[in-house]
Chain A
């Protein structure tokens, strides 16, 4: 059965190769099914090997199967071989098992993505690398897998690299891990230098003969490597950012498998740690303890559903380091397994929420989803109870064992662990309450949206004022024009009156008698010509009178025009008055709106959880997104996503059964792992009552955490802002100070190093080149290009040789 072991990594490698060649052709979802099938096959092969290993006696459970020679160089030779022992098989079983479920989940989650098949290429390559990491029979092969999972992690974090944030998150993860890898590499070199081999068989056998100084150095360097891969202080910064990747990646790589590689490596090298000075493992424990508490405090203030889980992962990995540092390899592996179950479950359930909520990740926008996403909510609650340490869920058993070790070995670390447990229960309950319980808040306008709506409303009111001012200006222009028209008309009246007076005077000057005489002359005229002349004379005499009449009527008309113009002025004045009144009304309305805005705008940036935000007054001005969200109905995910959730929640419930504390015979995992630990593990020597008391304290602390979260987030007691400090939300400013350092002093020192490289190192190289160039440009004069010169040279040389020979022969 053990000979089947090569199948375990071969399946995902084959899947990777097939998908690279035909992935696009297979497409969505066939490519995903193929990848899932391959990892499932790997799981089946792992079970077969596991059964084979069970058939052997405890001490014989250690086999190496060499596949082929890889690097034979002198006395340094590396084979590609696999190491089968209880530790590697434990890792392989849970890695392949959980990976299968996550592959299945990813088929549903990634459906419709245009890079669907590429996703599964990376995923299969990741599983292959992870399996090489845990199965490799030497440090170099483990390092190969170590780098492979790092590369896949980079590729998958920045999977949607079109978004700048995702791309830089990938880079951050890769660069941060590089620092850790450096430690691992030096540790491997040092191991080879002292032991002369990097095969685990030799290293583990000869580790007790190592000098304590060397063993300590190797341990600390491995710790640096493990801190990078397993996201411990101070190299944890990449993991929260890694949440930019698709959620199945977060679950598989950044919660369940890859991040446990550091713990695996430290456990694998336990004889070296045992050979080191005592303070080396203590350092590991303190790094873990401080990371656990530190990350838990940050998780309390995060609002992104995945960020909470990311910091939670960092915190839980801290527990693993804490356990490893105290010699509790069994509880470390135990908690690693249970954590893999419940954290993968939590991530996948969170992904299901995100999937159902239109890619919203802000928990403040969720609430009340338990009714809408029943399966997701149910499984998430299982994961929550497991991580919060509520019996009988798996997390209770494993965390309790870690805490029991801490109590036995180091009380200070126990206090830290207990505080972390309290915070864990609190932030996980906060997450559950915010997401699944309370009021459904997805349709709520956010603070920014409310402010934007108020701004719109104020702008609209201000616009009315501007319109009114424009109307006033128009009316006033009309008034001015009317007044000007009155002036013109009045001048016309004066002119007409003067005309009329002149005409009247002219008319008065005409003698009445002469008119009469003219009339009689017309009457008495006998012949035609005389009559015509008389009539003409009469007309001449009568004309001034008629002109005077005309001028009078013209003057009267002009007076009428003046009246009309005055009436228009009055009308225009009325319009102006009206416009002013309208402007005043608009200004008053704008003031009202501003006053309403002052009282109606959201008072704080905190999102109200219990009651709906007050949007009265700006309902009509809200951005369109709000209406879209109100019209949206969350939907439960397809079965490919919910089935893994259900199966994982089953694991999260029962995985605690692997190592029940009640009787020696129930310590299944401990007995199973014993051969791989060479007796270097610390044994728990607490009495039954002490164990029960510790468990009671842990449960009480967990319940306090859950209860206080319920009080704050369900009942609205206490000040939410006081808990979610901005410094916590900003991760204690660690990322910011890293960025500051790298941008400032770090950058300057790198520049200095670069300048040293340019001037001193490059200068030396360039100086040699310049020297050679100068010398040769001096020497080139000797080259004339004439054949005769060279011939002369040869001739002279010959003569010189001749002289030499002859002189030699002479003496």
Chain B
């Protein structure tokens, strides 16, 4: 007999857990990868994990402030990507061999 199984209720903790997972993936990716583009994507992942947290908490707490803050984060992320990609393009023009992040270590003490 068909028992109408009720799907478990999706609570905020699910979203927060997902966000934590995404953040961890991003953080580990940033630390272990050498390709600048991938590192960038990892940063984006972390930012969006935070965004997800914001939205989840905004929903559960009924405070629109969190959702509004997401827009700020997205704008900042977009600006950051623009600047970051511009730096990378400029860097590759000057040094075509600098393909990994470790090749750019001019600030070594």
Q: Do A and B come from one complex?
A: yes
Judged by a CB distance under 8 angstroms, whether B61 is at the interface is no
> In the complex, what residues of B have CB within 8 A of residue A791's CB?
30-31
- Residues A785 and B31 in contact, CB atoms below 8 Å apart: no
User: How far does the alpha carbon of A316 sit from the alpha carbon of B109 in the complex, in Å?
Assistant: 74
- Residues B101 and A788 in contact, CB atoms below 8 Å apart: yes
> In the complex, what residues of A have CB within 8 A of residue B34's CB?
788
> In the complex, what residues of B have CB within 8 A of residue A795's CB?
27, 31
Which chain B residue shows the least CB distance to A778?
A: B109
> In the complex, what residues of B have CB within 8 A of residue A792's CB?
31
User: How far does the alpha carbon of A792 sit from the alpha carbon of B108 in the complex, in Å?
Assistant: 16
Judged by a CB distance under 8 angstroms, whether B10 is at the interface is no
Judged by a CB distance under 8 angstroms, whether A781 is at the interface is yes
Which of the residues B31, B32, B101, B109 comes within 8 Å of A781, measured between beta carbons?
B109
Which of the residues A781, A782, A787 comes within 8 Å of B104, measured between beta carbons?
A787
User: How far does the alpha carbon of A786 sit from the alpha carbon of B101 in the complex, in Å?
Assistant: 7
Contact with B along A225-246 (1 / 0, CB 8 A): 0000000000000000000000
- Residues A784 and B108 in contact, CB atoms below 8 Å apart: yes
> In the complex, what residues of B have CB within 8 A of residue A780's CB?
109
Contact with A along B97-109 (1 / 0, CB 8 A): 0000110111111
Contact with A along B69-109 (1 / 0, CB 8 A): 00000000000000000000000000000000110111111
Which chain A residue shows the least CB distance to B105?
A: A785
Shortest distance in angstroms between A426's beta carbon and chain B's nearest beta carbon?
84
- Residues A783 and B31 in contact, CB atoms below 8 Å apart: no
Give residues of chain A (767-801) contacting chain B, Cβ–Cβ below 8 Å. Answer: 779-788, 791-792, 795
Shortest distance in angstroms between A468's beta carbon and chain B's nearest beta carbon?
93
> In the complex, what residues of A have CB within 8 A of residue B104's CB?
785, 787
> In the complex, what residues of A have CB within 8 A of residue B109's CB?
779-785
Contacts A792-B31, A795-B27, A795-B31: A787 and B106 contacting too (C-beta < 8 A)?
no
- Residues A787 and B101 in contact, CB atoms below 8 Å apart: yes
User: How far does the alpha carbon of A321 sit from the alpha carbon of B5 in the complex, in Å?
Assistant: 120
Q: Which of B39, B107, B109 has the most CB of A within 10 A?
A: B109
User: How far does the alpha carbon of A727 sit from the alpha carbon of B27 in the complex, in Å?
Assistant: 95
Which of the residues B30, B39, B106 comes within 8 Å of A785, measured between beta carbons?
B106
User: How far does the alpha carbon of A48 sit from the alpha carbon of B102 in the complex, in Å?
Assistant: 87
Give residues of chain A (712-767) contacting chain B, Cβ–Cβ below 8 Å. Answer: none
> In the complex, what residues of A have CB within 8 A of residue B27's CB?
795
Shortest distance in angstroms between B107's beta carbon and chain A's nearest beta carbon?
4
> In the complex, what residues of A have CB within 8 A of residue B102's CB?
786-788
Shortest distance in angstroms between A76's beta carbon and chain B's nearest beta carbon?
50
Size of the chain B interface, CB-CB below 8 angstroms: 14
- Residues A785 and B108 in contact, CB atoms below 8 Å apart: yes
- Residues A783 and B101 in contact, CB atoms below 8 Å apart: no
- Residues A784 and B30 in contact, CB atoms below 8 Å apart: no
Shortest distance in angstroms between A791's beta carbon and chain B's nearest beta carbon?
5
> In the complex, what residues of A have CB within 8 A of residue B108's CB?
783-786
Shortest distance in angstroms between A799's beta carbon and chain B's nearest beta carbon?
10
Give residues of chain A (184-227) contacting chain B, Cβ–Cβ below 8 Å. Answer: none
Size of the chain A interface, CB-CB below 8 angstroms: 13
Which chain A residue shows the least CB distance to B108?
A: A785
> In the complex, what residues of A have CB within 8 A of residue B30's CB?
788, 791
- Residues A788 and B31 in contact, CB atoms below 8 Å apart: yes
Contact with A along B24-58 (1 / 0, CB 8 A): 00010011101000010000000000000000000
Binding site of A, secondary structure by majority: helix, strand, loop or mixed?
helix
Shortest distance in angstroms between A435's beta carbon and chain B's nearest beta carbon?
83
Shortest distance in angstroms between A779's beta carbon and chain B's nearest beta carbon?
8
Shortest distance in angstroms between B109's beta carbon and chain A's nearest beta carbon?
3
User: How far does the alpha carbon of A528 sit from the alpha carbon of B34 in the complex, in Å?
Assistant: 146
Shortest distance in angstroms between B58's beta carbon and chain A's nearest beta carbon?
21
Contact with B along A359-373 (1 / 0, CB 8 A): 000000000000000
> In the complex, what residues of A have CB within 8 A of residue B106's CB?
785
User: How far does the alpha carbon of A779 sit from the alpha carbon of B102 in the complex, in Å?
Assistant: 21
> In the complex, what residues of B have CB within 8 A of residue A787's CB?
39, 101-102, 104
Which of the residues A779, A781, A783, A788 comes within 8 Å of B107, measured between beta carbons?
A783
User: How far does the alpha carbon of A308 sit from the alpha carbon of B34 in the complex, in Å?
Assistant: 93
User: How far does the alpha carbon of A306 sit from the alpha carbon of B17 in the complex, in Å?
Assistant: 104
User: How far does the alpha carbon of A128 sit from the alpha carbon of B32 in the complex, in Å?
Assistant: 80
User: How far does the alpha carbon of A787 sit from the alpha carbon of B34 in the complex, in Å?
Assistant: 9
- Residues B105 and A784 in contact, CB atoms below 8 Å apart: yes
Which of the residues A779, A781, A782, A786 comes within 8 Å of B105, measured between beta carbons?
A786
> In the complex, what residues of B have CB within 8 A of residue A785's CB?
104-109
Shortest distance in angstroms between A63's beta carbon and chain B's nearest beta carbon?
70
User: How far does the alpha carbon of A357 sit from the alpha carbon of B30 in the complex, in Å?
Assistant: 97
User: How far does the alpha carbon of A677 sit from the alpha carbon of B47 in the complex, in Å?
Assistant: 86
Which chain B residue shows the least CB distance to A783?
A: B109
Shortest distance in angstroms between A710's beta carbon and chain B's nearest beta carbon?
92
Shortest distance in angstroms between B12's beta carbon and chain A's nearest beta carbon?
19
Contact with B along A96-127 (1 / 0, CB 8 A): 00000000000000000000000000000000
Q: Which of A784, A786, A792 has the most CB of B within 10 A?
A: A786
User: How far does the alpha carbon of A267 sit from the alpha carbon of B101 in the complex, in Å?
Assistant: 82
Shortest distance in angstroms between B43's beta carbon and chain A's nearest beta carbon?
9
> In the complex, what residues of B have CB within 8 A of residue A782's CB?
109
Which chain B residue shows the least CB distance to A798?
A: B27
User: How far does the alpha carbon of A779 sit from the alpha carbon of B32 in the complex, in Å?
Assistant: 25
> In the complex, what residues of A have CB within 8 A of residue B101's CB?
786-788
> In the complex, what residues of B have CB within 8 A of residue A781's CB?
109
Which chain A residue shows the least CB distance to B30?
A: A791
Which chain A residue shows the least CB distance to B106?
A: A785
User: How far does the alpha carbon of A644 sit from the alpha carbon of B67 in the complex, in Å?
Assistant: 97
Shortest distance in angstroms between B19's beta carbon and chain A's nearest beta carbon?
15
User: How far does the alpha carbon of A786 sit from the alpha carbon of B32 in the complex, in Å?
Assistant: 12
User: How far does the alpha carbon of A786 sit from the alpha carbon of B108 in the complex, in Å?
Assistant: 8
User: How far does the alpha carbon of A8 sit from the alpha carbon of B52 in the complex, in Å?
Assistant: 84
Which chain A residue shows the least CB distance to B101?
A: A787
Shortest distance in angstroms between A388's beta carbon and chain B's nearest beta carbon?
86
> In the complex, what residues of A have CB within 8 A of residue B107's CB?
783, 785
User: How far does the alpha carbon of A4 sit from the alpha carbon of B86 in the complex, in Å?
Assistant: 72
User: How far does the alpha carbon of A495 sit from the alpha carbon of B88 in the complex, in Å?
Assistant: 122
Shortest distance in angstroms between A789's beta carbon and chain B's nearest beta carbon?
9
User: How far does the alpha carbon of A786 sit from the alpha carbon of B107 in the complex, in Å?
Assistant: 8
Contact with B along A366-404 (1 / 0, CB 8 A): 000000000000000000000000000000000000000
Which chain A residue shows the least CB distance to B42?
A: A791
Which chain A residue shows the least CB distance to B39?
A: A787
Q: Which of B34, B39, B105 has the most CB of A within 10 A?
A: B105
User: How far does the alpha carbon of A782 sit from the alpha carbon of B27 in the complex, in Å?
Assistant: 22
Shortest distance in angstroms between B50's beta carbon and chain A's nearest beta carbon?
12
> In the complex, what residues of B have CB within 8 A of residue A783's CB?
107-109
User: How far does the alpha carbon of A781 sit from the alpha carbon of B107 in the complex, in Å?
Assistant: 11
Shortest distance in angstroms between A800's beta carbon and chain B's nearest beta carbon?
14
> In the complex, what residues of A have CB within 8 A of residue B39's CB?
787
> In the complex, what residues of B have CB within 8 A of residue A788's CB?
30-32, 34, 101-102
> In the complex, what residues of A have CB within 8 A of residue B32's CB?
788
User: How far does the alpha carbon of A144 sit from the alpha carbon of B7 in the complex, in Å?
Assistant: 95
Which chain B residue shows the least CB distance to A782?
A: B109
> In the complex, what residues of A have CB within 8 A of residue B105's CB?
784-786
Which chain B residue shows the least CB distance to A777?
A: B109
User: How far does the alpha carbon of A783 sit from the alpha carbon of B108 in the complex, in Å?
Assistant: 5
Shortest distance in angstroms between A214's beta carbon and chain B's nearest beta carbon?
60
User: How far does the alpha carbon of A788 sit from the alpha carbon of B30 in the complex, in Å?
Assistant: 7
Please name the 7 residue pairs, one residue from A and one from B, whose CB atoms are nearest each other, closest first. A780-B109, A785-B105, A785-B108, A783-B109, A785-B107, A787-B101, A791-B30
- A-B residue pairs in contact (CB < 8 Å), sample of 12: A785-B106, A785-B107, A786-B102, A787-B101, A787-B102, A788-B31, A788-B32, A788-B34, A788-B102, A791-B30, A795-B27, A795-B31
Q: Which residues of B contact A (CB under 8 A)?
A: 27, 30-32, 34, 39, 101-102, 104-109
Q: A780-B109, A786-B105 are in contact. List 7 more A-B contacts (CB 8 A).
A: A783-B108, A784-B105, A784-B108, A787-B101, A787-B102, A787-B104, A795-B27
